[in-house]
Amino acid sequence: MNRDQNAPLREDVRLLGEELGAVLREQAGEKLFDTVETIRQAAVESRSQGEMPVKRLRQLLDPLDDETLLEVARAFSQFLNLANIAEQRHRERLHRHHQRYPGDPDTDRGLRQVLAELKKAGVGDDKVKSVLEDLSVELVLTAHPTEVTRRTLIRKYDRIADLLTDLDRPDLTEEEEQDLRRHLREQIVSAWSTDEIRRERPTPVDEAKWGFATIEQSLWQAVPRGMREIEAELALAGLEPLPADWVPIRFASWMGGDRDGNPNVTAAVTRQVLLLARWMAADLYLRDVENLLADLSMHRASDELLERTGPSHEPYRLVLREVRERLRITRARMEARVAARPEPEGEGYTSGRQLFDELSLIDRSLRAVGLSAVADGQLKDTLRRLNCFGITLLRLDIRQESTRHIDTLDAITRYLDLGGYADWDEAQKQQFLLTELESRRPLVDEAFYHSDLCDEDVREVLDTCKVIAEQGPEGLGAYVISMARTSSDVLAVKLLQKIAGVHHPMRVVPLFETLDDLNNAGDTMRALLDIPLYKQRVSGGQEVMIGYSDSAKDAGFLGAAWAQFRTQEKLTAIFREHGIPLTLFHGRGGSISRGGAPTRMALLSQPPGSVAGRIRVTEQGEMIRVKYGRPSLAAYNLEQYVAATLEATLMPPAEPRPEWRAEMDRLTEVSVDGYRQVVRDDPALVAYLRTVTPETELSRLSLGSRPARRKPGGGVETLRAIPWVFAWTQIRLMLPAWLGTGAALESALASDEETEILRAMDEQWPFFQGAVDMLEMVLAKTDTRVASWYEERLTDEGELIRLGDTLREHLADTVAALHRLTGHDSLLDNNPVMRWSIRVRDPYTDPLHLLQAELMARLRERDTDPVLESALMVTIAGIAAGMRNTG
């Protein structure tokens, strides 16, 4: 392959830019095209000269009327989306190169390299196979509001990516190439003619359907494809084959189950989402069975199968027709339940085991009569899908805040004249909860539900538990308690499930989020394990969730990262001591300040022993589309998770040296203090956020079903982590990702001894390496001059200008400190693809930033204006596309 692996990317960007230009001429006219091209050239020239194009761009933009401003914003936004398609397509190209040339140092590290390293390290095949057999990777799809692109446009963008793939073929004739270019132009015209902005806020059910669509359009193909690739790598390494239906990957979801601070997620919504998921699963398996019916026409069959069918020339089809009918009944029943209609007669499937047994019978027969090659085809893919997705498509988690459980139990104890549960100390709460968990009598009667104490919020908690009771265990995952702080928070959920009559209780997962909660997590879990009843109930395993978003908002990136690391160390040691398997659930987002990182970096950055063959991770917002939106990319990313989990389990990083721990303690003390001095203590911070960034305008964009704030009004503490990150990203300041870290690095680098320690950490400790690499990436996307544009246009208040100057000074100092630490002359010296990606986008994001500031100013003067609002929403979406992550 050509040494310049990125030449095809540049060619794709050029091609898409040319086609978009032609579409602008055709659809919007020569005048708009000339305007857009003049603005683009001004931005390119200014950037190439190292100057900011503010004055020149303003001269070009000021005379334009509102309608033209909207079209200009759409043009620049559209190009950035097309550039993203080219990059996504290039990632697929590089992944293919990685498969063909796994020894190339420029390729990613995949399963083949991990298996070779394990063999080199003397890890036996039996040990590798044992870990692989029990390997568990569960990816939890969440609808956090960071996907700004409409689904209808995503489909068009996927088609454009397919056409770029077709244009890559080396054997194209001139006629074929022209035909593909014509189809490419059609898709770009279609995208240009489609409204970019979601006009209505999605409901939780809409979000769940979006998740189902990701499974239907990509993951349904990606899972068996990825498993075949993994299987091939294991065979190449000389490992004995694993069971034919082995799948170490599962999917869960928060869409329709995450009610933390979202009043739109109700018990009725959760019930509907569970039914729709089962409907979709039945529909997808029906498609598989139809294909199997077409293929399995053979007559040779085992005695076991013929006992079921009797003599037949097509015994497999006889069984599959029965399977098809039961799937049709299952689908019809789910549809009837959603619509509250009478259910049809007949026997459907109520568990995945029932369907699995039917298909396994066919599989055994095919293998018994020498037709293994047939069994290893579509049937094997379906069995793997069944092991991955089950009969319920995915497992739905429930998430609720701990205070809602406290309020519910408080209402119950007051109804029973036992006093106020909320007023009791921890010991009293535990005593009550443990007594009631062991009691056989019901705690409340039906009259409670009609009492004044059972208000709307209390009823909602109890109704949610009733929905859990209605469902079988296959469709439900974890009950996650946000803001978990005490042992009683966990016991409370166990009791609430008992009250509702849940026969197969959901596992209860405390989520530790803030800095204090992370630091106290070990004590909380140790106290739980000291309770014999609790320890006995979790003897098979405990799951604990580590929150990245709120901890970083509370303490800054570096302080949160070190707290998360230490918490995992403590939890791993505690559960090892008690002999109970621990699964750590990582609540990561797409941005660095919310735990975003490449898969291998993220897993190898964890404390040694904390992965242990089991990992659970959230995949959020736009990252679902980026990583799993196309089957080839999804298959690659699934393999990456399997490879990284195997590596982190069998070749974990070494324990950090004592001097490294001491250095991290010093760094985080300075970092947290520096971060909080601004975020908590500077009275201008909230005003700056709401004046200079589009934080208040984000509520106009119909991103997701959740409100942007946990509570109306208030300061930063009431703002959700995602809009907090999103707002700073829009003005290129990226404050949550670096604030405080620069001061910490500066302080350490002032000492020769500490400098030497830091450089050793950067060279030898994956945790610190990952933090530095991600910091370097995010700093490369910052631009202090862009942030100053917003200030210049949106405020003349002295305190806000003073704070802006301070933040830009802190940012410059952070960049300088990072240069000193890494020795790099410029950011991303070690990542030329990312550096080029940012540089090629700047001429398109610059006009959008300037437009956004102008539109914000005009809208704040006029309050409402449909055209300006649309233009502002386009700039928000366009900048998000240009930055490649939002929150």
Q: What would the pLDDT profile of 346-370 be if each residue is shown by its tens digit?
A: 999 999 999 999 999 999 999 999 9
3-state secondary structure labels for all residues of 360-389:
HHHHHHHHHCCCHHHHHHHHHHHHHHHHHH
Domain identity same for 803 and 881: no
Domain identity same for 181 and 73: yes
Per-residue pLDDT band for 883 (boundaries 50, 70, 90) equals: confident
Domain identity same for 823 and 698: yes
Output the pLDDT for position 719.
65
Output the pLDDT for position 554.
84
Per mean pLDDT, which range of 388-392, 553-557, 883-887 is the poorest? 883-887
Residue 553 domain-assigned (yes or no): no
Residue 508 domain-assigned (yes or no): no
Residue 250 domain-assigned (yes or no): no
Last residue of a domain, one of 361, 388, 415: 388
Per-residue pLDDT band for 588 (boundaries 50, 70, 90) equals: confident
Last residue of a domain, one of 358, 388, 418: 388
CATH label of the domain that carries residue 329: 1.20.1440.90
**Nearest partner of 745 among 584, 556, 590, judged by Cα:** 556
Last residue of a domain, one of 359, 388, 417: 388
Per mean pLDDT, which range of 62-76, 362-376, 505-519, 665-679 is the poorest? 62-76
Neighbours of 493 (CB within 10 A): 26
Average pLDDT over residues 751-765: 95
Domain identity same for 862 and 872: no
Q: Is residue 71 pLDDT above 50, yes or no?
A: yes
Residue 521 domain-assigned (yes or no): no
Could you give the number of structural domains in the chain? 3
Domain identity same for 52 and 94: yes
Structure-token pair, residue 411: 């209402």
Q: Is residue 99 pLDDT above 70, yes or no?
A: no
Query: Could you list the active site residues?
Result: 144, 553
- Domain extent, residue 740, equals 658-867
Domain identity same for 862 and 885: no
Judge if pTM exceeds 0.85: yes
Give the integer Cα–Cα distance in Å for 867 and 67: 7
Residue 749 domain-assigned (yes or no): yes
Output the pLDDT for position 50.
62
Domain identity same for 770 and 668: yes
Domain identity same for 188 and 285: no
**Beta carbons within 8 Å of 135's beta carbon, 6+ residues apart:** 248, 613, 614, 642, 645, 646, 649
Domain identity same for 886 and 766: no
Distances in Å between the Cα of 170 and the Cα atoms of 27, 165, 590, 708, 805 are 32, 11, 35, 49, 53
Give the integer Cα–Cα distance in Å for 642 and 53: 47
Domain identity same for 798 and 827: yes
Residue 322 domain-assigned (yes or no): yes
Domain identity same for 709 and 846: yes
759 compared with 630, residue with greater pLDDT:
759
Residue 472 domain-assigned (yes or no): no
Domain identity same for 355 and 368: yes
Alpha helices by DSSP H, listed for 579-696, are 599-604, 622-628, 631-650, 658-679, 684-692
